[in-house]
Chains A and B, each alone.
Chain A
Amino acid sequence: MIYLDNAATSWPKPEVVIEAVERALRAPASPGRSGHRPAHEASRTVHRARKGVARLLGVGDPERVAFAPNVTWAVNEALWGLGLGPGDRVLSGALEHNSTARPLRLLEARGVAWEAVPPGPDGLLDPEEFRRRLTPETRLVVLNHASNVTGALAPAKAVKDAVGGVPVLLDTAQTAGAVPLDDLGGWADLVCFTGHKGLLGPTGTGGLYVREGVPFRPLAVGGSGSRSESLEHPDFLPDALEAGTQNTHGLAGLAAACDFLLGTGVGRIRAHELELAEIFMEGALKAPGLAILGPGPGDPRRVATVSVVLEGVSSSDLARSLEEGYGIMTRAGLHCAPLTHQAAGSFPGGATRFSFGFFNTREEAETAGRALREIAGRPRRGGA
């Protein structure tokens, strides 16, 4: 199998991650809930994950990193915390995943104005377009740090500079662990992350960084292991946003994954993944009738996620041919990102997505390109 669906979830997970999950599952412990040694060990493990994520996001204070079941939950929680209401306005990029677009649509139905800023012809967002759309009512800017369809990186810091004091919520689902993020704590107000993609951890892990001074509010309240005497949920981080027993074994895996990433170096990972994307794009573009959505070869303003449209072949048929003929796993369709496909002109048919990870090889990238050339050379439905 050639697994090229790392934008959905990374595979394989490092062995140390699997071992850490198993170890945690065998331990008799719930973190932060009891005073005995195994429980404390579980707490230490969760804390190690918190510190690892804080380092990889470049946000400094691990206490301001709260874990959640996934990035979608984190986005919802971040938006809920801001208390947006009628009269408020939100700007986002038009390369959003539904994890941000649907909560924003819900806010829109409740009277919040939402405008999605389209990318330029090159598929990239322009910070000046955000500045131009600012109004006194703009309360938030939401940015998908890298498109899960085109791989285009958002010029996030430049957008923040362009919008001044307006808070920025950054969705790092496609960049955490894949792009060095050394300085987010210096400017990003809310950073949402998932643990199971570039961070190489298990599914069921994700969370939210809240910059000091930015309001937050839990989506759920309940047991926290702290202030047990009170019926009021704690108002301090991370407890405020971590009601209920944490996903201990998942976070144990995430802690091990963070250690792996910090030991390997995210810069090295990015260089390898970009090289694979380059090899793939150069090979794929030799296929007649094939178009790449977003930044093409030689443009580093991307992550290693590349979506293609092959003239006369549906995205799903292409994915099927790749799996049946070559054992290549891709993802077809709209990738939970209809706005992006609309902006890229690939709606509603979608595209076939190839997303490379650290464990993919040059040979695999070459094979994927060759497979596309061979499929493109076959007779097509409709005579295209």
Chain B
Amino acid sequence: MTDGQGEIILVFPSNTRILEAEELLEERGLPFILVPVPKEVNPNCGLAISLRAGDRGLILPALEEAGLLPQSAYLRNGDLFADYPLGPSPEPDRGPGGA
């Protein structure tokens, strides 16, 4: 899906969910940062989780296991945002492909 470069933005359906997700990832010491929700993808006022694309194999399964998958995800490349499909646990990088 990606070559492991770039940034994935996770948008959650509610503030409570993102707080739960943040707590979980912090507890597990997984790498992420919180950023304002990019207005290009969602008009909400709150926060989103930003992770390096290469770390998605660590983070998305952890969220999925806890029932905290985001409502949507985006692969960011500069000012461009592409939908990043969420589904079953992402597998390790399969090389470049359509994100």
Contact = CB atoms under 8 A, between A and B. Distances in A.
Given A35-B45, A35-B47, 5 more contacts: A34-B46, A35-B37, A43-B15, A225-B15, A229-B44
A108 interface: no
A47 B16 CA distance: 7
A33 to B, nearest CB: 6
A62 interface: yes
A77 to B, nearest CB: 18
A234 B45 contact: no
Interface in A32-46: 32-36, 40, 43-44
Contacts of B99: none
Query: Sorted from nearest, which 8 A-B pairs have the closest CB atoms?
Result: A35-B36, A32-B15, A229-B43, A47-B19, A228-B43, A63-B16, A35-B47, A228-B44
Contacts of B66: none
B30 interface: no
B13 interface: yes
Chain B contact surface mostly: mixed
B45 to A, nearest CB: 5
Contacts, number: 58
A227 B47 contact: no
Interface in B17-57: 17, 19-20, 22, 34-37, 43-47
Contact of B14 (A40, A228, A236): A236
Interface residues of B, number: 17
A43 B45 contact: no
Contacts of B45: 32-35, 225, 228
Chain A interface residue number, banded: 20 to 34
Interface in A201-243: 225-229, 234, 236, 238-239
Contacts of B47: 35, 40, 43
Interface in A362-380: none
A34 B37 CA distance: 9
B44 A227 contact: yes
Given A35-B36, A226-B14, A234-B14, A44 B44 contact: no
Nearest to A230: B43
Contacts of B20: 47, 62-63
Contacts of A33: 45-46
Contacts of A353: none
